[in-house]
Amino acid sequence: MSTPTLQHAPAAPQPPKPRRATGGLLDPGMLAGSLPAAVRKLDPRVMWRNPVMLIVEIGAVWTTILAARDLSAFSVLIAVWLWLTVVFANLAEAVAEGRGKAQADTLRNAKKDTTARRLLGWKPGADLSEEDVPAAQLQQGDIVVVEAGQIIPGDGDVIEGIASVDESAITGESAPVIRESGGDRSAVTGGTKVLSDRIVVRITQKPGESFIDAMIALVEGAARQKTPNEIALNILLSALTIIFLVATVTMQPFAIFAKANNPGVLDTTALDGNGVTGIVMVSLLVCLIPTTIGALLSAIGIAGMDRLVQRNVLAMSGRAVEAAGDVNTLLLDKTGTITLGNRQASAFLPVGTTTQDQLADAAQLSSLADETPEGRSIVVYAKQAYGLRERHPGELAHAQWIPFAAQTRMSGVDLDGRQLRKGAASAVAGWVRDHGGVVSPALGDAVDGISASGGTPLVVGEVSNGQARVLGVIHLKDVVKAGMRERFDHMRAMGIRTIMVTGDNPMTAKAIAAEAGVDDFLAEAKPEDKMAFIKKEQEGGRLVAMTGDGTNDAPALAQADVGVAMNTGTSAAKEAGNMVDLDSDPTKLIEIVEIGKQLLITRGALTTFSIANDIAKYFAIIPALFVTLYPGLDALNIMRLSSPQSAILSAVIFNALVIIALIPLALRGVQYKPSSASKLLSRNLYLYGLGGVIAPFIGIKLIDLLIQFTPGL
């Protein structure tokens, strides 16, 4: 038995087409609707999950207490804006969660109280008694029957029958789908509706853990767990917060010492007789710690999953979305993913004295009753390429149609004393010889040429007026989907290697791989070969993504770092993968990788902006705070802010407003353009690093001018 071979299929890279960033901008209506949820998140039991913003909330509480004792415009405004900072941070997360509310409401409508017809003592073909039970009481392993017009009560697999099912409540697609026992299209989802016929379903879900329950929790963000990268970044932000906290606290003894040596400047600084005021210390701390990324970090993760939901992909965890962004290798099935899935007629090659038109006419006529996709493609190709009029079997009432049989490996028609056969080369050649004809050596050359190119040859033979001959060969080929080469070039520019997996022989696989533009292919692959290949890739430190829909794909889906199961597939496949594509489009794996990369880039860009932001705010506050004590600091007072109090208040206001300003970017994501890691780093540093330094100088100065000309401030 031949073993699978991994072979190289080079393709010259071409410039990728840029993709437009997706995701809605900030909607004022959504903003207002999310405000109550943001206020509810002020509960310390919720805030503790975000240490940076918990520190800000504690500071807001302490400032409020101090402001109640002082009741100056400065102290009250600082307290108000610190609270707004916390609310804006919660608002970012609430808006991100709110974007999934509409889909969650649709899903809840699908998940309504349903009565299940549970079969007792089920056996195939037996006429059994049944009982009506609430769908919520169904247990794993129960057998239910569902007929036309009824709602499927729970997730399961069809074990008997075939039916048309309306899954629009889940996928949004109005066209019904076919679900049948056996094969890879047996899985059904609770809340969907049977439109025709009758099916028997074995329930595979546990109570309260249905597919719809999981989707509702995930699209609303309730079941989202922090990813390893997110946890690591939270630890870093917490460490920076502690460092700045210590640095801020040390300013108190420093200020006391400075005041003792400069007693005449009490009225011109933000200091009192005991050193730095508590309100100023809290303000300084809030402006220096990384509040911007701390406020937006959770929203970025939720928005990444939401972008997948918008494309009808359900990610079972944020870890899967992150892993998609780091994927190095993509495993893609040939049939239905890279190719259309059905072989199509692409050329007619006449043999001997036969003309192109004669072969086209005979090929079309012999295929009129052939309802296979290949047969239909021959009829269509003859009409489009040779201008033959469309004919139907019903027009030829006196014709005798010869259906395809495994024994003869031919099909055709007997019409007006003329016999036409179409089929495997050896079968048709033998049929011609049996009728006294001679097969030209040119036939073998044509058949071998088509096979060498990865196509499938079908030979057309004729017996007419007592003479038998071969008319020619039909070239059937797997048609590569439009735009696939460009998409693989796009992946290559992203540093991702694409592997085509097929059960075809290496010669056929090589031809398709070269046409599609994939990097490598795995020929004559069995399920265990996919598993072995994934393990081999992972041992080299690479992350692997793949798609699958059958039970035999489940082990490989579970082993892959990103396993995308088709919604039309089996329950085993959906449970093994960490994503489910509701549209069952295998090529969507490419979009999933791009969304994952966009998530990682967005998080990195906003982290860079946040840290750069803090540096600029440092230069805004510290010089204004101590310039009277140390005139040498005036050189750093670039913005020439009107007063220390105005400098501090302006920085606090800007710190709160920048969170609101960046919510749309966190939700939409930073546009991803395939390039090297060094170019991405340079782009981040210039755009978000330099931008993060410049923006506060402009923003704080504008706010200072507004405060300066506002009466009472």
Q: Please tell me whether residue 113 adopts helix, strand or coil conformation.
A: coil
Quick one: which of 395, 410, 399, 413 has its CA closest to 474? 410
**What does the chain come to in residues?**
713
Between vectors from CA 186 to CA 182 and to CA 188, what angle results, nearest 5°?
160
Annotated binding residue 414: no
Q: 186 Cβ partners below 8 Å, 6+ apart?
A: 157, 158, 159, 179, 180, 570, 571
Question: Would you name the residues annotated as active-site residues?
Answer: 333
Name residue 470's beta-bridge partners: 461
- Type of residue found at 243: I
Q: 665 Cβ partners below 8 Å, 6+ apart?
A: 602, 606
Annotated binding residue 469: no
Annotated binding residue 110: no
Stated as kind and residue range, the H or E segment containing 166 is: strand 156-166
Between vectors from CA 17 to CA 12 and to CA 20, what angle results, nearest 5°?
155
CA atoms of 584 and 187, how far apart (whole Å): 12
- Site of tokens 């070039």: 489
CA atoms of 579 and 565, how far apart (whole Å): 6
Q: 255 Cβ partners below 8 Å, 6+ apart?
A: 271, 275, 276
Quick one: which of 630, 321, 363 has its CA closest to 471? 363
Cα distances from 510 to residues 143, 332, 486, in angstroms, run: 46, 15, 18
Residue 39: left if φ>0, alpha if ψ -120 to 50, beta else—which one? alpha
Q: 295 Cβ partners below 8 Å, 6+ apart?
A: 52, 53, 85, 88, 89, 92, 659
Annotated binding residue 549: yes
Distance from the first to the final alpha carbon of the chain:
86
Between vectors from CA 422 to CA 418 and to CA 427, what angle results, nearest 5°?
110
Q: Where are the beta strands (DSSP E) in 489-574?
A: 497-501, 520-522, 544-548, 562-566
Q: Which residues of 290-325 are buried (b: 16+ CB within 10 A; e: fewer)?
A: bbbbbbbbbbbbbbbbbbbbbebbbbbbbbbbbbbb
Quick one: which of 130, 174, 173 has its CA closest to 153? 130
Q: Are 512 and 502 in contact (CB under 8 A)?
A: yes
Q: What are phi and psi of 615, to 5 degrees?
A: -60, -45
Annotated binding residue 404: yes
Q: 617 Cβ partners below 8 Å, 6+ apart?
A: 287, 288, 651, 654, 655, 696, 700
Annotated binding residue 409: yes
Annotated binding residue 502: no
Annotated binding residue 186: no
Annotated binding residue 494: no
User: Secondary structure of 626-637 in the HEC alphabet?
Assistant: HCCCCHHHHHHC
Cα distances from 135 to residues 180, 200, 206, in angstroms, run: 21, 15, 11
Name the DSSP class of 508. H
Q: Are 38 and 84 in contact (CB under 8 A)?
A: no
User: Secondary structure of 172-226 in the HEC alphabet?
Assistant: CCCCCEEEECCCCCCEECCCCEECCCEEEEEECCCCCCCHHHHHHHHHCCCCCCC
Q: Please tell me whether residue 72 adopts helix, strand or coil conformation.
A: coil
Annotated binding residue 410: yes
Percentage helix, strand, coil for the chain under 3-state DSSP, each rounded to 5: 50, 20, 30
Annotated binding residue 406: yes
CA atoms of 406 and 119, how far apart (whole Å): 40
As annotated, the binding site for ATP includes 370, 374, 404-411, 422
As annotated, the binding site for Mg(2+) includes 549, 553
As annotated, the binding site includes 370, 374, 404-411, 422, 549, 553
